[in-house]
Amino acid sequence: MRRLLFVMNPISGDIDKAELTDLIQEVCTGRGHVAELFNTTGENDLEKLREHIARGDYDAVFAAGGDGTVNLVAQAMVATELPMGILPLGSGNGLSKDLGIPQEPEQALQLVWEHQIKPLDTLEVGGQFSTHLADLGFNALIVERFSAGDTRGPGAYVRVALQEYMGYEPAHYRIVTDQETWEGKAFMLTIANARTFGSNVVINPDSRMDDGRFELCVIEPFPATAAPGILYRLYTNDFDDSEYTRRLRCRHASIEVPGQAEALVQVDGEPLQLPLPIRIEIKPRSLQVLVPPPAAE
């Protein structure tokens, strides 16, 4: 791995990008690697990045940013043999946490010389590419409200969630998978190719991201008195222990909301209005990712 490309949004986040660029160059040069930078602009980034990668003869491409940058780079590299690295710089960094990648930039850069390559499944959710988690219902609403606000960070997210919780009305869903059919109301419906949200909520215990399957994780409507217990289970890896939760494991699925033509869906941190029904398919082992090597015993 000699020639590396780092993809970065120069105006996102709170990290000084000039200092980060200097750190990348210092670490890579010190290890005998050539590091190049690709700045996103918000205009045709995917097309431009694909063309840049095709011309560059790179050994790996790093997403230096949050969930949106990771999704962009993964789309450009899916179904290729070129591995993707992650330099987590966002507020959530859900995929990098699930993969055990250090959250400090200097430590994450160790992947340049110390790594293994792990093939991951990816998802297509209503025609949208996803590497990690998508959902309908309460969390999708909170992500939309949070994205529209001026304040970032966990505190702002919790504040929005508390504001919306009391007046939230769960929708009725019909889910048809290759294994089963489920219909009913849900407070939240997560399409999961991984275990954990960036907030460290474990929505999909014992998940594997390379088994050719995904899970639909349903939180059914619950009384206010049950909320603390559900929240506790989501932070202690006990999602399945509540009477208000269920998981459907499958290879493809279709989600309908009777009486609606479209639904708000959060896909890898981006809120979108998607037409119904929403069809989901797994793309087995379609993305190569650099992850830390196993710890020595």
Residue at 120 is within a domain: no
Distance CA 10, CA 22 (A): 14
Residue 294 lies in a domain: no
Per the prediction, the chain carries an average pLDDT of 91
Three-state DSSP at 109 gives helix
The least confident of 11-15, 91-95, 134-138, 290-294 is 11-15
Are 102 and 178 part of one and the same domain?
A: no
Residue 117's pLDDT band, with cuts at 50, 70 and 90, is very high
Asked if 103 and 210 sit in the same domain, the reply is no
Does 240 map to a domain?
Answer: yes
Cβ atoms < 10 Å from Cβ of 33: 18
Whether residue 136 sits in one domain with residue 106: no
The DSSP H or E segment spanning 133 is: strand 133-137
Rounded CA-CA distance 145/65 in Å is 21
- 11: domain CATH number is 3.40.50.10330
Q: Is residue 297 scored above 70 in pLDDT?
A: no
Residue 232 lies in a domain: yes
What is the average per-residue pLDDT within 23-30? Answer: 93
Number of compact structural domains in the chain: 2
Q: Is the pLDDT of residue 35 over 90?
A: yes
Given a cut of 70, whether residue 154 has pLDDT beyond it is no
Q: What is the pLDDT of residue 121?
A: 97
Residues 188 and 148 in one domain: yes
Last residue of a domain, one of 63, 88, 114: 114
CA distances from 132 to 94, 111, 257, 269 (A): 7, 20, 23, 9
The verdict on 110 and 133 lying in the same domain is no
Expressed as residue numbers, the domain containing 73 is 3-114
Confirm whether 11 is domain-assigned: yes
CB 241 within 8 A of CB 233: yes
178 within some domain: yes
CATH number of 265's domain:
2.60.200.40
- Name the amino acid, one letter, at 161: A
pLDDT tens-digit map of 213-269: 999 999 999 999 999 999 899 988 899 999 999 999 999 999 999 999 999 999 998
Q: Are strands 245-250 and 188-192 parallel, antiparallel or unpaired?
A: unpaired
Taking the CB of residue 250, how many other CB atoms lie within 10 A of it? 18
**Range from 29-38, 143-152, 230-239, 252-261 carrying the lowest mean pLDDT:** 143-152
| Beta bridge partner(s), residue 107 | none
Give residue 247's pLDDT.
96
Q: Could you tell me if 136 and 270 lie in one domain? A: yes
Does 178 share its domain with 106? no
Mean pLDDT of 4-24: 85
Indicate whether 296 belongs to any domain.
Answer: no
pTM of the model: 0.90
Same-domain pairing of 104 and 241: no
Q: Is the pLDDT of residue 81 over 70?
A: yes
Q: Are residues 109 and 162 in the same domain?
A: no
Tell whether 11 and 103 lie within a shared domain.
yes
* CA–CA dist 83, 77 (Å, integer): 8
151 and 279 inside one domain: yes
Q: Which of 81, 114, 147 represents a domain boundary (last residue)?
A: 114
Domain boundary among 87, 114, 141: 114
Is residue 150 over pLDDT 80? no
| pLDDT at 194 > cutoff 70 | yes
For residues 151 and 256, membership in a common domain is answered with yes
Which of 209, 193, 163, 195 has its CA nearest to residue 267?
A: 193
Is residue 260, in this structure, part of any structural domain at all? yes
Report, as an integer, the average pLDDT of 162-170.
Answer: 87
